[in-house]
């Protein structure tokens, strides 16, 4: 194994619920940074009320990252840059899917840079197989009884089906 970069990275998101696309970004970040803290936004401002509680969203991720010893999962209620500082992180790592992610991320990047020029934001391109995968898409699919096997871990699929099946 090549030596890992030092330091801590934050992977923030609402993770409502976590998908294989998120887990791909978390796994890739864990290969590059010594420590990764997955920050689960308690109450997202932009997306309104979540389907799952922060506790459930954290435990879905914890179950899925058991094999990654350098990944921790924590809920947070503050600005992402404050959460990053609290953990001594030097980077915020995010996944980029399509153009729509880019526009939003560019705006967030300018705001975060202004507040915390010492914390770098790093973007990983979504894996092609997960480029069109989103938590909202998965919730919608679950509502209509769609097959979630290739999209989320089995325990998450089960909880989604329970919560949303019409
Ligand atoms: P979503 O847009 O699915 O609700 P979140 O707000 O939880 O996602 O996003 C957390 C981070 O994960 C963001 O950086 C987002 O761009 C990234 N992400 C979400 N889905 C994917 C995916 N399928 N592939 C790569 N990155 C993703």
Tens digit of each residue's pLDDT (9 = 90 or more) over 4-19 = 578 999 999 999 999 9
Residue with tokens 């790592």: 93
- Please tell me the distance between residue 22's alpha carbon and the centre of ligand 1 in angstroms: 6
Report the percent of the chain where pLDDT is more than 70.
Answer: 96
At residue 53, does pLDDT exceed 90?
yes
Sign of the torsion formed by the C-alpha atoms of 141, 145, 146 and 147: positive
pTM, 2 dp = 0.94
83-106 residue pLDDT tens: 999 999 999 999 999 888 999 999
pLDDT tops 60 at residue 2:
no
Choice from 95, 96, 102, 129 to test ligand 1 binding pocket (greatest atom count within 8 A of CB): 95
Kindly indicate the confidence band of residue 166, based on its pLDDT and cuts at 50, 70 and 90. Answer: low
| Whole-number Å distance between alpha carbons of 60 and 76 | 16
Distance CA 22, CA 61 (A): 9
**Res. 28: pLDDT tops 90:** yes
Q: Whose Cα sits closest to atom 10 in ligand 1?
A: 13
Judge if the beta carbon of residue 97 lies within 6 A of ligand 1. Answer: yes
**29 within ligand 1 shell (Cβ under 6 A):** no
41 alpha carbon – ligand 1 mean position (Å) = 12
The whole-angstrom separation of Cα 39 and Cα 82 is 11
pLDDT band at 1 (very low <50, low <70, confident <90, very high): low
pLDDT tier at 43 (50, 70, 90 boundaries)?
Answer: confident
Over residues 54-65, the mean pLDDT reads 98
Q: Are strands 91-96 and 71-76 parallel, antiparallel or unpaired?
A: unpaired
Q: What's the rounded mean pLDDT across residues 150-154?
A: 97
- Ligand 1 site, residue 25, Cβ cutoff 6 A: yes
Is any ligand 1 atom within 6 A of the Cβ of residue 94? yes
Question: Residue 143 is encoded by which pair of tokens?
Answer: 């509502």
Burial of 69 (0-12, 13-18, 19+ CB in 10 A): exposed
- Rounded distance between C-alpha atoms, residue 30 and residue 18, angstroms: 16
What local confidence, expressed as pLDDT, does residue 93 receive? 98
Q: Which residues contact 58 (CB under 8 A, 6 or more apart)?
A: 40, 73, 74, 75
Provide the token pair at 71. 């990944």
């Amino acid at each position: 194994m090549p030596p890992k970069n030092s330091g801590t990275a934050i992977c923030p998101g609402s993770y409502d619920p976590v998908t294989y696309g998120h887990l791909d970004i978390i796994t890739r970040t864990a290969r590059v940074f010594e420590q990764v803290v997955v920050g689960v936004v308690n109450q997202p401002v932009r997306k309104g009320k979540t389907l799952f509680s922060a506790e459930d969203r954290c435990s879905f991720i914890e179950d899925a990252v058991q094999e990654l010893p350098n990944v921790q999962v924590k809920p947070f209620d503050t600005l992402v840059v404050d959460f990053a500082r609290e953990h001594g992180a030097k980077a915020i790592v995010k996944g980029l899917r399509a153009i729509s992610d880019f526009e939003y991320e560019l705006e967030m990047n300018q705001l975060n840079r202004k507040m915390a020029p010492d914390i770098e934001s790093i973007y990983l391109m979504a894996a092609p197989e997960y480029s069109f995968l989103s938590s909202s898409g998965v919730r919608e699919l679950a509502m209509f009884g769609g097959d979630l096997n290739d999209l989320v871990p089995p325990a998450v699929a089960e909880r989604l089906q329970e919560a949303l099946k019409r």
